[in-house]
Amino acid sequence: MKLLVDMNLSPEWVEVLSRAGWQVIHWSTAGPATAADTELLAWARDHNYVVLTQDLDSGQLLFHTREIGPSVVLLRIRKELDPLQQARICQIPRMAQGALETGALVSIDERRARLRRLPIQSGDNT
């Protein structure tokens, strides 16, 4: 499974996730910094990447378009560069890998992670 780190996250995530065994790139090496969310999501879908982001719009776009991909890991944490949170975040995609490979939205906050299969249904909260 390949991970694409969104522009709204530090490029430091590439090193952190690589050390944890992930194949990962930062969007700054794949597309323009000014790209719309839809462009980034389309690129990730076309190139079989899971998007790691803090952008709440990603979940909203998946909900409104009823797309089945790309999968998104949404970070809802205040201190993204906290080593304890980083270690935790590196493990969660591994635990959810099967769902992420077939289409899922994983939201991670300081205490828990929540998984929703894609397409997101009307009864789900995003």
The confidence band for 72, taking pLDDT boundaries of 50, 70 and 90, is very high
DSSP 31-98: S-TT--HHHHHHHHHHTTEEEEE--HHHHHHHHHHT---S-EEEEE-S-TT-HHHHHHHHHHHHHTHH
For the chain, which residues make up each domain, given as ranges? Answer: 2-117
Domain 2-117 has CATH 3.40.50: yes
pTM for the structure as a whole: 0.92
* Per-residue pLDDT tens over the stretch 1-60: 999 999 999 999 999 999 999 999 999 999 999 999 999 999 999 999 999 999 999 988
- State the virtual CA torsion across 69, 21, 28, 59 in degrees, nearest 10: 30
Residues in a beta bridge with 23: 2
